[in-house]
Amino acid sequence: SQQGEEDPQALSIQEGENATMNCSYKTSINNLQWYRQNSGRGLVHLILIRSNEREKHSGRLRVTLDTSKKSSSLLITASRAADTASYFCATGTQGGSEKLVFGKGTKLTVNP
């Protein structure tokens, strides 16, 4: 079963606008990661935030984590058509396996 939910399920914006995606999860985590998946291709790691961090930046990406609410957000600033993809959050859980538990994803469309 999947860990949590991304919201919205789908998002359509114009090039240059910002895109915000949210992720909620259920169990205690070691870290939370965001991945991007282009149509028909594998997942690409974007950014990782640890459970003791609240915010992290990488280029045009900004991730926040609120462990008290079990939620995270991914902000993509100044979006480009090439950002069109599905975005998934994935959690690394405490105690045991190295596996990642993914959400259902947000499908982002950036219109030129």
- At its nearest, how many Å lie between other proteins and the CB of residue 39? 12
Applying CB under 8 A, which of residues 48, 51, 56, 62 lies at the interface with other proteins? 48
CA-wise closest residue to 77 among 87, 63, 66, 89 = 63
Q: Any contact of residue 72 with other proteins (CB under 8 A)?
A: no
Tell me the site size for other proteins, rule CB under 8 A. Answer: 25
Distance CA 31, CA 13 (A): 29
Q: For residue 77, which amino acid is it? A: T
Distance CA 35, CA 46 (A): 5
Which residues of the chain form contacts with other proteins (CB under 8 A)? 1-2, 30-31, 33, 35, 41-45, 48, 88, 90, 92, 96-105
